[in-house]
Structure 1
């Protein structure tokens, strides 16, 4: 099925690795042009070169998304480079799990406020698109109480609430908004690989909770994101799409 993304311009935060990298690759595979950012310059340059090697129209930029002004500048530079913005995907997380004021501040500034900054900067451009959308990567930890309750879970829940409000407020302006909530996602260099190496007993306990017998892949989450970004999802707005292999047990009404 043609996802109708050829020539569309999508901005992705945290696009150099993991879920974000898979989202970028999934979008360009469908013909989209993509600007992505991440904090590490070396990782951005490497990802940009690797993705461009396949002929993709992609631009990577090193940005600290905790800096709202830097996010806004990146959005404007990307819009000028491509001439338009059709969709944004907010993917960065501080992964600040555990007690302490610093974790609360980091989760608030990175997980929640970078999403707000991204949307506010992109909105004037999105309103000129005939297929505009906002997608935020939340987590199943925002849906139920688990080991990541506290700052991480609270901010992930706040993202879903924020996106739901956007969907309602922006519907008349032609902008859709949705959240994607993945469960455990395993990839090289990711938090679960680090956990497997550093805390194997805890990793085994978490893995045992997955009824599929495995954790998810970045590509599996990216499929959900690309599907929601697609103009074919024109009637889907205000949803929280859970991508967890039946990990969570709560009924989403």
Structure 2
């Protein structure tokens, strides 16, 4: 299927590993140019170099999304470099799960305000696009109570609510906004790989909760994110797309 995003430009926060990196890969596979950011200079450089000889232009920037001014400059600089912005993906997360004061601060500053500030900075450029869209990564932990309820789950719930409001507010301008809520997703260097060896019983229990008998992959999440971002999904806005292998049981109305 042609997603009609070749030569379009996507912004992705947290684009060097896990789901974020898979999203960058998926956009590039569809012929889109990508501006991504992450905190680690080494990881940004390594990721950027892997696309150096490809057909799409991929530009990485070292950035902490807590810095709203720097985030705004990155968005504006990316728009200038690529001649506009079409698709915005807020993916970065502090992954701050334990219920501590520091984790509440991290979740609010990184996950929530990182999303809010990215969206606000991007809107003026999305208004000039012929296929504008916003996708924010939430989580099944934002939809129902589980082990990550607390700072992480609460903020992921807030992201769903925020993006639903953005979708309503921007619908008349043709800008779509949706959230994607992954279930447990396994990848090298990720939290579940760590728990597989550090807390085997908990890992086994988590896998057992999913009727598919396995966790998801970053590529499975990324495929849906890129489709949802594309004009092929032009009638979808204000939605929260679960990608969890039937892990959650509640029915969405």
TM-score computed with the length of structure 1 as normaliser: 0.98
RMSD over aligned Cα, in angstroms?
Answer: 0.8
**CA distance in 2 between partners of 1:209 and 1:115 (Å):** 30
Instruction: Give the SS at the match of 1:242.
Output: strand
**CA distance in 2 between partners of 1:215 and 1:114 (Å):** 27
Structure 2, unaligned runs of 5 or more? none
Equivalence for 1:190: 190
Alignment partner of 1:163 is 2:158: no
Whether the 8 Å contact between 1:186 and 1:217 is mirrored in structure 2 is yes
**CA distance in 2 between partners of 1:198 and 1:40 (Å):** 25
Shift of 1:53: 3.9
Instruction: Give the SS at the match of 1:52.
Output: coil
Query: What do the CA deviations read for 1:162-185 (whole angstroms, capped 9, x no partner)?
Result: 010000000011110000000000
Instruction: Give the SS at the match of 2:51.
Output: helix
Shift of 1:207: 1.0
Shift of 1:56: 2.8
Instruction: Give the SS at the match of 2:235.
Output: coil
**CA distance in 1 between partners of 2:118 and 2:98 (Å):** 26
Structure 1, unaligned runs of 5 or more? none
Alignment partner of 1:210 is 2:227: no
Equivalence for 1:177: 177
Whether the 8 Å contact between 2:68 and 2:114 is mirrored in structure 1 is yes
**CA distance in 1 between partners of 2:44 and 2:197 (Å):** 25
Whether the 8 Å contact between 1:25 and 1:51 is mirrored in structure 2 is no
Whether the 8 Å contact between 2:18 and 2:190 is mirrored in structure 1 is yes
Equivalence for 2:144: 144
Whether the 8 Å contact between 2:107 and 2:151 is mirrored in structure 1 is yes
The aligned length equals 253
**CA distance in 1 between partners of 2:222 and 2:206 (Å):** 22
Whether the 8 Å contact between 2:31 and 2:55 is mirrored in structure 1 is no
TM-score computed with the length of structure 2 as normaliser: 0.98
Shift of 1:52: 2.9
Alignment of 1:226-241 (within 5 A): 226-241=226-241
Whether the 8 Å contact between 1:195 and 1:202 is mirrored in structure 2 is yes
Query: What do the CA deviations read for 1:130-179 (whole angstroms, capped 9, x no partner)?
Result: 11010000000000000000110010010000010000000011110000
Whether the 8 Å contact between 1:133 and 1:176 is mirrored in structure 2 is yes
**CA distance in 1 between partners of 2:209 and 2:30 (Å):** 34
Equivalence for 1:56: 56
Instruction: Give the SS at the match of 1:211.
Output: coil
Whether the 8 Å contact between 1:135 and 1:178 is mirrored in structure 2 is yes
Alignment partner of 1:114 is 2:114: yes
Query: What do the CA deviations read for 1:97-140 (whole angstroms, capped 9, x no partner)?
Result: 11121111110000000001101111100000111010000000
Whether the 8 Å contact between 1:98 and 1:151 is mirrored in structure 2 is yes
**CA distance in 2 between partners of 1:15 and 1:145 (Å):** 28
Whether the 8 Å contact between 1:133 and 1:229 is mirrored in structure 2 is yes
Shift of 1:217: 0.3
**CA distance in 2 between partners of 1:48 and 1:203 (Å):** 33
Query: What do the CA deviations read for 1:197-228 (whole angstroms, capped 9, x no partner)?
Result: 21111111111111111100000000110111
